[in-house]
């Protein structure tokens, strides 16, 4: 990715097997396939006849789940797993998921992707009524609301149903009770969620993306609809649709541009195809005279192919990514990030030298990494560099799970397109229009261009939003929080 401040969502995974088996290993492979959605921490909870065993820690799936760690989880009939990039609450082991709650009606494990917009109000209400929170994440708020509803609800799924009337914002959930696996998606459908079935043993699998189903040998059955609760038990699959059709579908369009893996299918639309279309729209909106089109690995490659096909300019491999290094934003500190760009990317000089180059990437947030990549191309002998971005300019904070919680760091807020082009050192710069970005995918049953959230580009939020971003408010020093209070 060309920029260093867009962070992934999270990834959720769940399995319900008909017989006791090694569900932990299945969850491990599922999370491995979802690693691109979060690289901060991960966890798995296994259910063996109502006894929950949990293991989670900061780090990548491959590092956290050593053989002894997986063995410690034992066998079971169900498991839920999670990979995390935190959007509310800092990075630490305490905020790792899934969260496990033990209460009078039995244990519950919950994994969450998204961000709750009314979590501060709910947390305050719960704390004033005696609840004590152990983490700083909004996910714990969801578990408390469900647990509270469970005291009077006849079943765990009805508790989830009741909780959904109170929770506002983005959430795709994988929830495990002693006897049930439950998947739930918010009524706007901000974040993806799907389920499939494995033919060899009849196990049901829930995941953020279809690529994780394929990784564990399950076949995609369907996407879980916005507002839907799907319950998996030994008796089969049940759907609760009380919240369906209550709000306009607002799937995050950035899932198609960047977050999801290209081999995933979200809400019936192939991500790879959506990125090809984004590149084609870019070529129509921003035609240039050039010799070669290159993509910034990995998320710019599909759109670059689309640009090349539409424009007729040959596609070439101009940048090579070192596959043994993580994404640039994981490094703390700007200097460290810039050093990593040099290690992460290198140029194929034969493709670039003496050529007019179109470079395609998915976004620009601060501009630092883009400027560094452009310099690499200039140093390799590029005659001209034209940058094409397969998303519109970021102008607004996201409250639904993408880690842009302030306008302060967004380069497009303070600079025109021409000014940004000068800052990053390109001959021309073209962004995809807001109109075109919604046309790269079609929502089910709707017309092309409908059913997507573009708030980070357009400012049109599908829900009420907090007046102040709440990220990391529990990690502020006293002096910082006093300064914030005085400003208000």
Please identify which of the residues 10, 211, 269, 456 carries the catalytic annotation: 10
pLDDT band at 4 (very low <50, low <70, confident <90, very high): very low
Longest alpha-carbon distance in the chain: 72
Provide mean pLDDT across the span 28-51.
96
DSSP code, position 50:
T
- 35, 30, 60, 434: which is closest to 254 by C-alpha? 434
Provide mean pLDDT across the span 66-91.
86
Provide mean pLDDT across the span 446-460.
82
How high is the pLDDT of residue 443? Answer: 63
- 397, 389, 449: which is closest to 421 by C-alpha? 389
The vertex-46 CA angle with 44 and 52, nearest 5°, equals 115
CATH label, 273-441, candidates 3.40.50.2020, 3.40.30.10, 3.40.50.620, 2.60.120.260: 3.40.50.2020
Provide mean pLDDT across the span 100-127.
88
43: three-class secondary structure by DSSP: strand
Residue 27 to residue 29: CA distance in whole angstroms: 6
- 402, 365, 327: which is closest to 87 by C-alpha? 402
Provide mean pLDDT across the span 330-336.
48
How high is the pLDDT of residue 448? Answer: 60
How high is the pLDDT of residue 342? Answer: 74
Q: For residues 40 and 329, which has the higher predicted lDDT (pLDDT)?
A: 40
pLDDT band at 299 (very low <50, low <70, confident <90, very high): confident
Report the C-alpha dihedral over residues 194, 199, 203, 208, rounded to 10 degrees: -20
CA atoms within 13 A on the CB side of 162: 17
Residue 138 to residue 303: CA distance in whole angstroms: 34
Question: What residues are paired with 245 via a beta bridge?
Answer: none
Output helix, strand, coil percentages for the chain, rounded to the nearest 5.
Answer: 35, 25, 40
How high is the pLDDT of residue 339? Answer: 60
pLDDT band at 130 (very low <50, low <70, confident <90, very high): low
How high is the pLDDT of residue 383? Answer: 98
Residue 121 to residue 167: CA distance in whole angstroms: 10
Query: Residue 241 pLDDT > 50, yes or no?
Result: yes
Percent of the chain with pLDDT over 70: 86
CATH 3.60.20.10 residue ranges in the chain?
A: 11-250
Q: Where are the beta strands (DSSP E) in 7-160?
A: 11-21, 41-48, 51-58, 76-84, 99-103, 106-116
CA atoms within 13 A on the CB side of 129: 9
Provide mean pLDDT across the span 173-177.
98
How high is the pLDDT of residue 57? Answer: 95
Report cis status (omega within 30 of 0) of the bond before 298: yes
pLDDT band at 442 (very low <50, low <70, confident <90, very high): confident
CA atoms within 13 A on the CB side of 305: 11
How high is the pLDDT of residue 14? Answer: 98
pLDDT band at 206 (very low <50, low <70, confident <90, very high): very high
- Paired tokens of 415: 């600079």
Provide mean pLDDT across the span 314-328.
81
Query: Residue 212 pLDDT > 60, yes or no?
Result: yes
360: three-class secondary structure by DSSP: strand
- Please indicate whether residue 456 is annotated as part of the active site: no
CATH 3.40.50.2020 residue ranges in the chain?
A: 273-441
Percent of the chain with pLDDT over 90: 73
Provide mean pLDDT across the span 473-482.
47
- 94, 31, 95, 93: which is closest to 62 by C-alpha? 31
Average pLDDT, rounded, for the chain: 88
Provide mean pLDDT across the span 404-431.
90
How high is the pLDDT of residue 218? Answer: 98
Positive/negative CA dihedral, 188, 214, 325, 11: positive
Which of 86-100, 148-162, 457-471 shows the lowest per-residue confidence on average (mean pLDDT)?
86-100
Fold assignment, 11-250:
3.60.20
261 CB-near residues (< 8 Å, 6+ apart): 33, 36, 209, 211, 271
What DSSP string describes 392-450? PPP-S--SSSSS---STT-HHHHS-HHHHHHHHT-SEEEE--HHHHTTSS--TTS-TT-
How high is the pLDDT of residue 392? Answer: 95
Query: Residue 183 pLDDT > 50, yes or no?
Result: yes
Residue 334 to residue 443: CA distance in whole angstroms: 38
H-helix segments, 7-87: 23-33, 61-64, 67-73
Query: Residue 255 pLDDT > 90, yes or no?
Result: yes
244: three-class secondary structure by DSSP: coil
Span 368-398, pLDDT tens digits: 889 999 999 999 999 999 999 999 999 998 8
Provide mean pLDDT across the span 6-30.
91
Residue 301 to residue 2: CA distance in whole angstroms: 11
């Amino acid at each position: 990715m060309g920029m260093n401040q867009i962070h992934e969502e999270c990834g959720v995974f769940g399995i319900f097997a008909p017989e006791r088996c090694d569900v932990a290993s299945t969850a491990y492979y599922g999370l491995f396939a979802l690693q691109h959605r979060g690289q901060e921490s991960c966890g798995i909870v296994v259910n063996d006849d109502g006894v929950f065993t949990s293991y989670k820690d900061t780090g990548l799936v491959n590092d956290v789940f050593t053989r002894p760690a997986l063995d410690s989880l034992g066998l079971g009939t169900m498991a839920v797993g999670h990979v995390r990039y935190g959007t509310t609450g800092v990075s630490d082991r305490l905020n790792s998921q899934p969260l496990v709650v033990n209460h009078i009606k039995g244990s519950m494990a919950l994994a969450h992707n998204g961000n709750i917009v009314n979590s501060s109000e709910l947390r305050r209400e719960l704390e004033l009524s005696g609840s004590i929170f152990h983490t700083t994440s909004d996910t714990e708020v969801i578990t408390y609301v469900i647990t509270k509803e469970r005291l009077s609800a006849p079943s765990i799924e009805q508790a989830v149903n009741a909780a959904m009337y109170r929770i506002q914002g983005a959430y795709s959930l994988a929830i495990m009770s002693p006897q049930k696996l439950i998947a739930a998606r918010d009524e706007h459908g901000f974040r993806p969620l799907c389920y499939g079935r494995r033919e060899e043993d009849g196990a049901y699998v829930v995941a953020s993306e279809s690529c994780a189903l394929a990784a564990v040998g399950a076949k995609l059955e369907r996407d879980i609809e916005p507002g839907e609760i799907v319950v998996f038990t030994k008796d089969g699959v049940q759907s609760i649709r009380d919240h369906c059709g209550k709000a306009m579908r607002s799937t995050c369009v950035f899932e198609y541009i960047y977050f999801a893996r290209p081999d995933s299918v979200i809400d019936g639309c192939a991500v790879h195809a959506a990125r090809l279309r984004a590149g084609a729209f870019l070529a129509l909106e921003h035609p240039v005279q050039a010799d070669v089109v290159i993509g910034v690995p990995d998320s710019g490659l599909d759109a670059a192919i689309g640009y090349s096909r539409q424009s007729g300019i040959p596609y070439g491999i101009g940048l090579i990514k070192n596959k043994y290094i993580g994404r640039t934003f994981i490094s703390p500190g700007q200097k460290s990030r810039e050093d990593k760009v040099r290690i992460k990317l290198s140029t194929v000089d034969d493709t670039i030298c003496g050529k007019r180059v179109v470079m395609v990437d998915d976004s620009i947030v601060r501009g630092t990494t883009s400027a560094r990549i452009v310099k690499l191309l200039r140093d390799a002998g590029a005659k001209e560099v034209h940058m094409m971005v397969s998303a519109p300019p970021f102008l607004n904070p996201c409250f639904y799970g993408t880690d842009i919680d302030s306008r302060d760091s967004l380069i497009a807020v303070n600079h025109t397109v021409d000014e940004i082009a000068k800052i990053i050192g390109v001959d021309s710069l073209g962004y995809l229009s807001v109109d075109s970005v919604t046309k790269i995918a079609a929502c089910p049953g709707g017309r092309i261009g409908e059913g997507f959230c573009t708030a980070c580009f357009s400012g049109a939020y599908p829900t009420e939003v907090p007046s102040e971003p709440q990220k990391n408010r529990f990690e502020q020093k006293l002096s910082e929080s006093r300064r914030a209070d005085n400003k208000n």
